[in-house]
Amino acid sequence: MVSRVDDEAEARAVHGAGGEAEEPPAELLGDELLESLMDTNLYSMGAFFSDQHPELVDEVIEWSEAIERDGLRGYADDHDLTVEECFKTLLTGLAVRYYKAVAA
């Protein structure tokens, strides 16, 4: 059984002594935040694809947006593809969009 004292201690740890949410550390609000966003698998995947296949970047983004709109199964059925192929395309498009947003 969790006591009220435990609940209050947890609330203070999350929200600070004043009960309000604490501001994120200032060092995460600038370049360090962007650097941390670049240190992810999704960013690396988008960077790799963009570097290796620059001619396909716009196309894979369009395909992934269509898959988002139609759903994996719907897009696969409409385009005679497997759900796995659609998922890989969706993930690649998301990675490229993430990379472009962070790198811009």
Residues with Cβ within 8 Å of residue 49, at least 6 apart in sequence: 56, 57, 60, 92, 95, 96, 99
Number of Cβ atoms within 10 Å of the Cβ of 96 = 24
Q: Which domain holds residue 58?
A: 25-103
pLDDT tens for the 104 residues of the chain, in order: 445 455 554 545 444 555 566 666 655 566 776 676 677 788 899 999 999 999 999 999 999 999 999 999 999 999 999 999 999 999 999 999 999 998 88
In a domain, 8, yes or no: no
How many independent structural domains does the chain possess? 1
Which of 56, 78, 51, 57 has its CA nearest to residue 67? 78
In a domain, 44, yes or no: yes
Q: What's at 97, amino acid-wise?
A: R
In a domain, 52, yes or no: yes
